Amino acid sequence: MTKPKILITGGCGYIGSHVAKLLTKKGYQVVIIDNLSATGKKIPYGKIYPIDLSEEKEIIKVLKEEKPEAVMHFAASIVVPESVAYPLKYYRNNVENTLKLLSAMEKVGIRKFVFSSSAAVYGIPDTVPVPEEAPLNPINPYGRTKAMIEEILKDLSEAGSLDYIALRYFNVAGADPEGELGPAYNQPTHLIIRALKTAKREYPYLEIYGTDYPTSDGTCIRDYIHVMDLAKAHLLALEYLMSNGKSLVLNCGYGIGFSVKEVVKTVKKVTNIDFKVVETERRPGDPPVLIADNKKIKTILSWEPEFQSLETIIKHAWDWEQKF
């Protein structure tokens, strides 16, 4: 039996590319829309249309030509400090362009949608690990754009025009264990990638932003999830929707937190390289602790992670970094 065709926006980016590979391996036909702004590179999976989501007429053309049965939406601007400095860029790219994508889907009659959301919607949660039912109180424009889109999706679902799953990612890291794909940002801001590039001497030192948080060692604590476990969550979410599952919001994390200093220590251990670390002021928009309550995704989608060890996550990312 032929599996359905799936459209992936941002499919040449970090997470989208891993999902595109997994879906292709599972027998799905993959079509990608990506303006290549994040990576500048195409991937060897799927049919790629190098267009921007601001071009609604072009999106409609692709949807009519390819006739996908579902859309997985990854394309977005994602850097928290940048969102604080340039909020309009984030509202335009993340909210306005998503509206254009949803409008195009409605015009063509596609109603299955998997959305790349974020734990940033929670802001500084009162409960840790944070459940999906926690109030949404984002503390930066990036998080607000994701929360706005979730509200739009909820309204569309209640109007009967869309079935969706919004996956709230915690901190995504690691790389394809087969070494084919990995983080490919032009200007990486994520801690593990920055630390590995510092180990490679691409940067003179690694900055730690804030050591006065109310945590055990004063640095922020995050829940790191391997990109392939996240890709698997997308596959399960897609299969759930295609089996007429109801609209859902699900956390994607392990329920385990590591501080910035613990991550740096593990990077030094995995690479066997010491490097300079500079402690500096807090960045705007960083909550002290973000850890997922993941009971819901495990129960509803039967999701079981394979790469839960922080050392494994960092080793796969290091293997990838050493290719360049």
Tell me if residue 164 is catalytic. no
pLDDT beyond 80 at 16: yes
The dihedral formed by the CA atoms of 102, 105, 106 and 111, expressed in degrees to the nearest 10: -100
Q: What is the pLDDT of residue 311?
A: 98
- pLDDT score for 1: 66
Q: Which domains does the chain have, with CATH numbers?
A: 5-173+225-252 (3.40.50.720), 191-222+255-321 (3.90.25.10)
Cβ neighbours of residue 65 under 8 Å, at least 6 residues apart?
none
95: its two tokens:
């909210």
Rounded to whole angstroms, the Cα distance separating 286 from 123 reads: 8
- Average confidence (pLDDT) over 88-106: 98
Sign of torsion, CA 234 238 243 245?
positive
Q: How many CB atoms lie within 10 A of CB 205?
A: 10
- Give φ, ψ of 309 to 5 degrees: -75, 130
> What percentage of the chain reaches a pLDDT higher than 70?
99
pLDDT digit string (tens) for 265-295? 999 999 999 999 999 999 877 889 999 999 9
pLDDT, tens digit, 9 for 90 and up, residues 22-68: 999 999 999 999 999 877 789 999 999 999 999 999 999 999 999 99
Tokens of 233: 């969550």
Rounded to 5 degrees, what are φ and ψ at 243? -95, 25
Q: Is the pLDDT of residue 185 over 70?
A: no
Average pLDDT over residues 170-187: 90
The CA distance from 259 to 36, in Å, is: 32
Which two three-digit tokens encode residue 117?
């959301």
How far, in Å, CA of 212 to CA of 306, rounded? Answer: 34
pLDDT beyond 70 at 211: yes
pLDDT above 70: residue 74: yes
The confidence score (pLDDT) of residue 285 equals 72
Percent of the chain at pLDDT > 90 equals 91
Buried b (16+ CB within 10 A) or exposed e, 247-274: bbbbbbbbbbbbbbbbbbebbbebbeee
Q: How many residues does the chain have?
A: 324
Q: Would the pLDDT of 186 be above 70?
A: no
Q: What is the pLDDT of residue 237?
A: 98
pLDDT in tens, 297-308: 999 999 999 999
* pLDDT surpassing 80 at residue 188: no
Identified catalytic residue from 14, 90, 122, 142: 142
Structure tokens at 301: 């989608």
Residue predicted with more confidence, 51 or 185: 51
Q: How far is CA 44 from the centre of its chain?
A: 20
Mean pLDDT of the chain: 95
Phi, psi of 178 (to 5 degrees): -80, -5
